Amino acid sequence: MGIMTFVTLEKPIRGLKDDMSGKALAWCQIQIDDLAQRLGLRPLYDFIGFTPEQLAELMEDVKTPTGEAVELPEEQWFDAEDGLRTVQGLLAHLRENPTAIAELNRVNSNHPGLGDAVVEDLESGEIIERGGETEGPLPSHLHVLASGALRC
């Protein structure tokens, strides 16, 4: 089972290369959001959204206490410039502070290069969000996608 965090644009841009793995960013979501808040940036968690189909799939077995299906929220998109501001702020801090990358490496002892992988995910996200700028700011959002049961 895998959990990933990645950028999705509302309108696809032809030729835009998407190499974002999103696994490291998902592993370090709490630490990255804490860092964003300490830097005065909007946390990435604020940009999380799902398409109705993705949310329905994740929630298909979830019922209210009375056994009724849970009402799904409407899809929400976020301005690419807002997400780009957070991603660029995080990247600048991580590039200027190698100790911050070392701290991310300690999040999971089975993945010693986790901090570098987070930087790669953020760089890929920056490229995708910048791709949105070519046609003007496009709404975009981050997705947390799970295959199988979500593990916490």
Any domain includes 152:
no
**What is the pTM assigned to this prediction?**
0.77
Measure the CA angle with vertex 83, ends 11 and 123; round to 5°: 90
Any domain includes 151:
no
Residue 83 and residue 140 in contact, taking contact as beta carbons nearer than 8 Å: yes
Name the residue range of residue 77's domain: 3-146
pLDDT at 86 over 90: yes
As a whole number, mean pLDDT of residues 36-48 equals 92
Predicted confidence band of residue 106 (pLDDT cuts 50, 70, 90): confident
Any domain includes 20:
yes
Any domain includes 71:
yes
**How many domains does the chain divide into?**
1
> Of 50, 45, 14, which Cα lies nearest the Cα of 30?
45
Any domain includes 16:
yes
